[in-house]
Structure 1
Amino acid sequence: MTGTSFDAPILITGGAGFIGSNLADRLLSEGHRVRLYDALARDGVERNVDWLRGRHGDRVELVVADIRDRDRLSSAVADAQAVFHLAAQVAVTTSMLDPRDDFEINIGGTLNVLEALRTRGDATPLIFASTNKVYGDLTDLDFALEDEAYVPTDPEIRDHGVGEARPLDFHTPYGVSKGAADQYVLDYARSFGIPTAVLRMSCIYGRGQMGTEDQGWVAHFLIRALEGKPITLYGDGHQVRDILDVSNAVDAYIQSWRRIAEVSGRAYNLGGGPANAVSLRRLLHHIGDLTGREVDLTFADWRAGDQRYFVADTRAAERDLHLAPKVAWREGVAELARWLAAERRLNTPMGVAAE
């Protein structure tokens, strides 16, 4: 990382969201100025802005604008020392209902960011939030069912997870739009010399997450369980995901920026890896232990593009980005449960009471 300044702002598109606000808090705590660019379209994100301002005062700048507004975006990019591009349409289900809107936000919005940087012409770095959905539904893999979890029969994938060499295979409008944006970001490093890096994220969870059924499912499960409400599982619940605490995700974003000279033009898988792989059913058992009551479940059909298994092979990211050890999933989920119980002022068992 070169040319770092504590005077020039760092731009975070989607900066009022869950990951964006956690990233902003870390950068602000290091002494940087941060410019949040966010349409504030998602319920509750204004609270994240208030939280950041309460902690960091006037070093937090908010630009309320849509990523599709090229003029506002270009102005926000103009003096930024680095850009973290997290703004997106984030739900597969929403992309199935309105694929044009998904296209315009995820592809058009990303192109707007890239063009604003290309117009500057001074090699301002960009770190892009991609997704494991770029690898498709992985239906070509064979699985065994073991202890309520799908496990790959391929020993390499079983031991290490899905690596970056896996062919891209876009499914659903969301997968297509995020995958195309992912490829645009990588190509702008090749074609125009803009230093970029892509992080293909698995399931990120942690403090500050107010999840819904369509996005942020770990927090959604906890919220429903803490409130004593039923949870709907789509499919059979044996699906496996490698969940990653947001503090570890923030580490990866910041390290991608700090090491951009070494990693520009690269895409990295970012997830919990095999040590933090858990099936939905196992996670719900843990949540039941935390809340002191069995979770009430209902079931529905599989959803489009759902993967029976995704665990990221994170060895390349750990090596190249020099990442710290990951928070163990049981510990991280318990911490999120405590935070949610306190934030929502719920009457909960002592196991998840605020510390």
Structure 2
Amino acid sequence: MTQTTLPTPSLDTPTSRELVAVTGADGFIGSHLVEELVRGGKRVRAMAIYNSLGSWGWLEQLPSEVLQHVEVQLGDVRDPGSVRALMQGASTVYHLAALIAIPYSYVAPRSYVETNVIGTLNVLEAARDLGTGRVVHTSTSEVYGTARTVPIHETHPLQGQSPYSATKIGADKLVESYHLSFELPVVTLRPFNTYGPRQSARAVIPTIISQIAAGERDLRLGALDPVRDFNYVADTARAFRAVGEAGPQVLGQTYNAGSGREITVGDTVRLIAQVMGVDVTVRQQDERLRPEKSEVMRLLADSQALTADTGWRPQVSLEEGLKRTAEWFTQPGNLAYYKVGQYTV
């Protein structure tokens, strides 16, 4: 087994820090990754999607001692110039920018191609031109579709059961092709069902927790029988850092990052209710259901390759992660970010 020892966190040498870049830094996982990288001794140039309000998204929630090591750049991964400016001088780029809402991919599939496929192409072309030392590409467990065998190994067939997953498969294959065609130093991480503070309520765990935190006891959800492998966001962020800082053995490889524990959505509801100390009932809303053949029924990660090559293991149990997530959502200032009574595609 080859293990990588990560550097001791230090926040006191801003000018001497190695510069890395992160696309999608204003999002849920991206903002947690930025914090993990800074606490690991890096200086981060972080892309937040351009908007007229000048908002930095979830980056604005990071502590000041972290933000002093972050250079925020408003831009768009669909624009080659934005991507090149972000990556200029960076030793590694962590590419997380993507459209991720599966329901909206049924409505606006072209936007998913433009962001997830063309955006990835822009990152790869910039890395090739600039000589970037490493590209860490973000995949998703959704590319596997409903599991044919479990636990799911990286060699499991890829199944595009939604326009979203199809675009992520396309992006994954572009990354693979640039490694094989041009020897670009790439590594792909496939996180399974990440959850935690700052996650969009389009995902099931924040949907459940935000409704309970708002005082609801008759919860409105979609299907309860799909099986998921939930991984706390701090563990996912550590997985990104692990593949970004590991030795050359990871180059050209794809790695799953999951907890290795499966649970149905229905049992997740019961566990959350237990953690939050409430009794709830569930009412299924048809508008929250995926088309029958598009629903991914079972996901369970085999993360042995990631552990073998980097030493990464999940550290936060589902019970502890749900407790931390519930504590964050029940703070009124955090819950105010969410339109709890409204379903948004």
Q: TM-score over 0.5 for the alignment? A: yes
Alignment of 1:1-355 (within 5 A): 6-39=16-49, 46=56, 48-52=58-62, 54-120=64-130, 122-138=131-147, 141=148, 157=150, 161-207=151-197, 209-213=198-202, 216-229=203-216, 230-235=218-223, 237-274=224-261, 277-301=262-286, 302-304=289-291, 305-342=294-331, 344=333
Distance (whole Å) between structure 2 residues aligned to residue 321 and residue 286 of structure 1: 31
Partner SS for 2:146: coil
Partner SS for 1:273: coil
Distance (whole Å) between structure 2 residues aligned to residue 232 and residue 178 of structure 1: 29
1:40 Cα deviation (Å)? 5.7
C-alpha contact 1:238 1:279 (8 A) present in aligned 2 = yes
1:10 Cα deviation (Å)? 0.9
Partner SS for 2:316: coil
Instruction: Give the TM-score normalised by the residue count of structure 2.
Output: 0.85
1:45 Cα deviation (Å)? 7.0
Q: Which runs of 4+ in 1 moved over 3 A?
A: 4-8, 43-47, 343-346
Distance (whole Å) between structure 1 residues aligned to residue 332 and residue 214 of structure 2: 13
C-alpha contact 2:259 2:314 (8 A) present in aligned 1 = no
Corresponding letter in the other structure for 2:141? N
1:58 Cα deviation (Å)? 3.3
Provide Cα deviations, 1:31-72, integer angstroms capped at 9, x if missing partner: 32111112167x997353223362324321111111111112
1:293 Cα deviation (Å)? 2.2
Closer, same or farther: CA 260–210 of 1 in aligned 2, 3 Å: same
Mean alpha-carbon deviation: is it higher for 25-34 or for 237-246? Answer: 25-34
Corresponding letter in the other structure for 1:74? R
Closer, same or farther: CA 296–320 of 1 in aligned 2, 3 Å: same
C-alpha contact 2:105 2:164 (8 A) present in aligned 1 = yes
C-alpha contact 2:161 2:295 (8 A) present in aligned 1 = no
Corresponding letter in the other structure for 1:49? L
Distance (whole Å) between structure 2 residues aligned to residue 333 and residue 245 of structure 1: 8
1:300 Cα deviation (Å)? 3.5
Corresponding letter in the other structure for 1:245? Y
Return 5+ residue gaps in structure 2 as ranges: 8-14, 336-345
Closer, same or farther: CA 341–225 of 1 in aligned 2, 3 Å: same
1:232 Cα deviation (Å)? 2.8
Distance (whole Å) between structure 1 residues aligned to residue 259 and residue 181 of structure 2: 32
Distance (whole Å) between structure 2 residues aligned to residue 136 and residue 52 of structure 1: 34
Corresponding letter in the other structure for 2:168? K
1:8 Cα deviation (Å)? 4.3
1:292 Cα deviation (Å)? 2.6
Closer, same or farther: CA 95–50 of 1 in aligned 2, 3 Å: same
Partner SS for 2:45: strand
C-alpha contact 1:6 1:31 (8 A) present in aligned 2 = no
C-alpha contact 2:48 2:56 (8 A) present in aligned 1 = no
Provide Cα deviations, 1:166-194, integer angstroms capped at 9, x if missing partner: 11121221111011101111221111111
Match in the other structure for 2:11? none
C-alpha contact 1:195 1:264 (8 A) present in aligned 2 = yes
Distance (whole Å) between structure 1 residues aligned to residue 314 and residue 83 of structure 2: 35
Give the CA RMSD over aligned residues: 2.4
C-alpha contact 1:211 1:218 (8 A) present in aligned 2 = no
1:311 Cα deviation (Å)? 0.8
Match in the other structure for 1:148? none
Percent of aligned positions with the same letter in both sequences? 29
Instruction: Give the TM-score normalised by the residue count of structure 1.
Output: 0.83
Distance (whole Å) between structure 2 residues aligned to residue 6 and residue 167 of structure 1: 44
Partner SS for 1:269: strand
Return 5+ residue gaps in structure 1 as ranges: 142-153, 347-355
Partner SS for 2:22: strand
User: How many matched pairs?
Assistant: 317
1:103 Cα deviation (Å)? 0.5
Corresponding letter in the other structure for 1:178? K
